[in-house]
C-alpha cells in the first residue's frame, strides 16, 4: 500500500460528462516518503478559484485519513493537462524542498502532491493546510502587527531562495486566532516563483525606521513591498519639486523657512503649497495611526463599509440623525430599546443596504463617487 488520494469526480466534471465517469478518481502521491495511507475527500465545500478555462482550480475540502480515522478541512490545488500539471508539480517540489522548513510558519503545511488520470488527462492535486481567508484589502490598510507579520514571512521565503517576483495581496491568506483575537498570515501561491533567488537583503528592518536607500535593501521585490506596506517612514517631502527633509513638514512656517522655494514665487503660492504639503503629511500620519490601531480588513466589502462610514457618518450623533431618511419599514425593524452604539450599528447596516439598492451595486462597488452618481431619495 502507498499514499493515495480519493477525489470525487463530480466537482471536476462538467454536467454532461458526469454520467460516464467513476464516482471517485484515485491519485497516487508523487513522493510518499514511506507513508502508507488513503486520504478520501468526503466533501467539496467550494471552488475558491478557477483559471485558464478551468484547467487550474482551487477547492476547499473536508478530507478523511483512513489510518488516523480523522476528518479535517484542507485546501487543494488541481491542475489538468501536461502544461499546468508541470507548473503545479514544480510548486509542490518547492514545498517539499526549499519551503519545507517554513511549512506551518511562513507558508501552509504541505500534505502531498498526488498524480493520476482524469477525463482531462494528466492531473495533479496538491493538498495544503486550510489557512483561512484571502486578503482582499491593500496591505497598507492593515494594522501594524499584521503588516509586520506578512513582511517577516516574505523575508523568510526570500531567505529560502524563493522569490515570488510579483507578490501582491493575492499571495496572503490569514487565520483568526481566537485566544489572542489576531490574524495570522501566511504566504501562498508559488506557481510563478523563482526558485533560484539569491536575496541580497541580509539585514533586519525596524518598524517605522527612516526609509533607506534602495541599495540598502538590495532586493527589488522586498523594496517594493516595504514601500507599498508603508512600514518605513519617509525621509523627505516634495516642496516645489524639491526634496525637503520630512522634519520640516511639521509646520507651515518651518517648511517655508527651510524649503527654499524658487525665487520670484508669489507669497500666496508659497503659503498655499506649504500648507498643502504639511496637511498631506499630517493626514498621512493620522491615517497611519488609525489604521495601525484598527482591525485586520480581509474583505473588500467590509473595507468599503468602513470607508463609507468614515467619510459620511463618523459621529454616532450623525449616524442617529440618518434614521430620519430611512423608510418607515426599515425604521420599524430597528430595536428602539437598544443602546446607542448598537442602535447606530443597526442603522448603518440598514442604511448601507438601502443606499445600495438605489445605486444598483454591491457594497464592494460603492464609493463616494458612485453614491453621488444617482440621487438618493428617501
Residue 378 lies in a domain: no
Q: Cβ distance 89 to 112 under 8 Å?
A: no
Instruction: Report which of 312, 302, 287 is spatially closest to residue 372, judged by C-alpha positions.
Output: 312
Please give the helix or strand (H or E) that residue 303 lies within, else none: helix 300-312
The answer to whether residue 210 sits within a structural domain is yes
| CATH code: domain of residue 26 | 3.30.200.20
Residues 92 and 147 in one domain: no
Nearest to 39 by CA among 67, 71, 65, 72: 65
Q: Do 271 and 180 reside in the same domain of the chain?
A: no
Whether residues 253 and 308 share a domain: the answer is no
Residue 96: give the domain boundaries. Answer: 3-129
| Claim to verify: residue 168 and residue 220 sit in the same structural domain | yes
Q: How many domains does the chain have?
A: 4
pLDDT digits (tens, 9 = 90+) for 186-215: 999 999 999 999 999 998 888 999 998 888
Q: Is residue 133 a contact partner of residue 298, using CB atoms and an 8 Å limit?
A: yes
Out of 161-165, 198-202, 332-336, which region has the weakest mean confidence (pLDDT)? 332-336
Q: What pLDDT was estimated at residue 67?
A: 84
Mean pLDDT in residue range 357-378: 38
Q: Does 205 fall in a domain?
A: yes
> Using one digit for the tens of pLDDT, what is the confidence trace for 97-121?
999 999 999 999 999 999 999 888 9
Same domain, 161 and 173: yes
Q: Give, in order, the Cα–Cα distances in Å from 71 to each of 6, 42, 47, 191, 371.
A: 14, 9, 19, 28, 47
Half-sphere exposure of 249 (CA within 13 A, CB side): 22
Q: What is the pLDDT of residues 242-270, one digit of tens each?
A: 999 999 999 999 999 999 999 999 999 99
Are 94 and 83 in contact, with CB atoms under 8 Å apart? Answer: no
Same domain, 212 and 263: no
**What does the alpha-carbon distance between residue 8 and residue 39 come to, in Å, rounded to a whole number?**
12
For the chain, report the end-to-end CA distance as a whole number of angstroms.
Answer: 69
Amino acid at each position: 500500500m502507498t499514499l493515495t488520494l480519493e477525489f470525487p469526480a463530480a466537482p471536476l466534471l462538467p454536467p454532461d460528462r458526469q454520467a460516464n465517469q467513476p464516482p471517485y478518481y484515485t491519485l497516487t502521491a508523487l513522493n510518499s516518503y514511506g507513508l502508507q495511507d488513503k486520504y478520501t475527500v468526503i466533501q467539496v465545500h467550494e471552488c475558491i478559484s478557477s483559471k485558464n478555462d478551468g484547467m487550474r482550480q482551487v477547492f476547499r475540502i473536508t478530507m478523511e485519513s483512513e489510518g488516523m480515522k480523522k476528518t479535517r478541512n484542507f485546501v487543494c490545488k488541481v491542475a489538468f493537462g501536461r502544461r499546468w500539471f508541470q507548473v503545479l508539480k514544480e510548486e509542490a517540489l518547492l514545498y517539499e524542498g526549499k519551503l519545507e522548513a517554513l511549512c506551518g510558519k511562513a507558508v501552509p503545511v504541505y500534505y502531498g502532491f498526488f498524480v493520476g488520470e482524469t477525463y482531462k488527462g494528466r492531473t495533479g492535486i496538491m493538498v495544503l493546510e486550510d489557512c483561512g481567508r484571502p486578503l482582499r484589502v491593500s496591505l497598507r490598510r492593515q494594522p501594524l502587527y499584521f503588516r509586520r507579520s506578512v513582511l517577516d514571512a516574505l523575508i523568510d521565503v526570500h531567505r529560502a531562495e524563493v522569490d515570488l517576483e510579483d507578490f501582491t495581496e493575492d499571495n496572503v491568506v490569514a487565520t483568526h486566532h481566537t485566544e489572542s483575537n489576531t490574524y495570522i498570515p501566511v504566504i501562498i501561491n508559488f506557481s510563478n516563483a523563482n526558485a533560484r533567488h539569491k536575496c541580497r537583503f541580509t539585514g533586519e528592518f525596524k518598524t517605522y525606521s527612516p526609509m533607506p536607500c534602495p541599495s540598502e535593501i538590495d532586493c527589488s521585490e522586498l523594496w517594493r513591498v516595504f514601500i507599498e506596506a508603508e512600514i518605513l517612514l519617509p525621509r523627505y517631502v516634495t516642496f516645489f519639486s524639491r526634496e525637503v527633509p520630512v522634519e520640516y513638514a511639521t509646520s507651515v512656517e518651518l517648511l517655508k523657512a527651510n524649503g527654499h522655494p524658487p525665487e520670484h514665487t508669489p507669497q500666496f503660492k508659497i503659503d498655499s503649497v506649504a500648507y498643502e504639503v504639511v496637511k498631506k503629511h499630517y493626514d498621512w500620519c493620522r491615517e497611519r495611526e488609525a489604521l495601525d490601531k484598527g482591525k485586520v480588513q480581509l474583505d473588500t466589502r467590509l473595507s468599503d463599509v468602513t470607508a463609507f462610514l468614515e467619510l459620511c457618518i463618523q459621529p454616532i450623533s450623525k449616524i442617529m440623525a440618518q434614521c430620519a431618511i430611512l423608510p418607515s419599514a426599515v425604521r420599524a425593524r430597528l430595536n428602539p430599546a437598544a443602546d446607542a452604539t448598537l442602535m447606530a450599528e443597526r442603522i448603518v447596516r440598514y442604511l448601507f443596504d438601502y443606499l445600495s439598492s438605489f445605486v444598483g451595486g454591491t457594497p464592494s462597488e460603492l464609493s463616494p463617487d458612485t453614491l453621488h452618481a444617482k440621487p438618493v431619495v428617501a
